[in-house]
């Protein structure tokens, strides 16, 4: 990865205050619980952050924050649920029509590829496609 997802999460979170309006205090409380605990407490805070994000689908910085912390969840607990959540969040973020920070878009696209790879959904490049075409099928 060409960037630190934890640092990117901090930046995105700080930029999301205006987007969340009256839910900002709740987001701060949940993020504090998520970042200062482990295990079931952190997992519950993570799920609550995702629920908050669902209530603010147009909050692009908060959506990016949730993508970054989902990557953190992947590194803590490598299970399909986190990869699937990451794919879903990235797809929603990337298809929204708002103007976005291009650097952040690049980072989200990189994470999207990583989430997909974790699910075995890697896209083949031209060399892989050609190799597969040239590989004999069947037996002798």
Task: Read off the pLDDT of residues 122-131 as tens digits, 9 standing for 90 and up.
Answer: 665 444 445 4
**SS3 at position 98:** coil
pLDDT band for position 96 (50/70/90)? confident
Task: Read off the pLDDT of residues 32-87 as tens digits, 9 standing for 90 and up.
Answer: 999 998 889 999 999 999 999 999 999 999 999 999 999 999 988 889 999 999 99
Q: Where are the alpha helices (DSSP H) in 16-59?
A: 17-20, 24-36, 39-55
Predicted local confidence at residue 127, as pLDDT: 47
Predicted local confidence at residue 92, as pLDDT: 93
Integer Cα distance of 75 and 70 in angstroms: 9
Where are the domains positioned within the chain?
Answer: 5-123
Tell me the whole-structure pTM to 2 decimals.
0.83
């Amino acid at each position: 990865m060409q960037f630190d997802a934890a640092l990117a999460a901090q930046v995105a979170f700080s930029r999301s205050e205006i987007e969340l309006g009256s839910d900002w205090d709740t987001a701060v409380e949940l993020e504090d619980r998520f970042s200062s605990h482990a295990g079931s407490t952190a997992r519950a805070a993570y799920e609550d952050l995702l629920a908050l994000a669902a209530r603010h689908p147009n909050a692009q910085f908060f959506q990016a924050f949730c993508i970054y912390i989902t990557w953190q969840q992947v590194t803590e607990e490598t299970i399909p649920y986190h990869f699937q959540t990451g794919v879903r969040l990235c797809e929603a973020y990337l298809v929204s029509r708002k103007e976005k920070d291009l650097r952040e878009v690049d980072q989200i696209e990189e994470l999207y590829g990583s989430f997909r790879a974790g699910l075995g959904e890697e896209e083949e490049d031209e060399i892989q496609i050609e190799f597969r075409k040239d590989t004999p099928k069947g037996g002798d």
